[in-house]
Amino acid sequence: MRRSLIVLIAFISAVFPTVLLQPEVASAAPPCWTSFAPASPKGAPMTQTYRNCGSSTATVMPYRYLPGGAATVWIYDAECRSVAPGANVSWYFSYTYSNVNYSTASCVPGPSSSGSYQDYYTSSVPCNTSFSPPSPQGAAMTQYYSNCYSLNPGYVTTAYRTSNGNFYGAAGRCHFVGGYTESYRWIAYWNYLSTIAGSTYTTAFCAGNTE
Please report, for the chain, the start and end positions of each structural domain, with discontinuous segments joined by +: 33-107, 113-206
> Is the pTM for the entire model greater than 0.85?
no
Alpha-carbon gap, residue 191 to 38, rounded angstroms: 40
For residue 129, give the amino acid letter: T
19-78 pLDDT tens trace: 444 444 456 789 999 999 999 999 999 999 999 999 999 999 999 998 865 558 999 999
pLDDT mean over 94-113: 94
3-state DSSP assignment of residue 175: strand
Q: Are 174 and 128 in contact (CB under 8 A)?
A: no
Backbone angles phi, psi at 6, to 5 degrees: -65, -45
Alpha-carbon gap, residue 173 to 156, rounded angstroms: 8
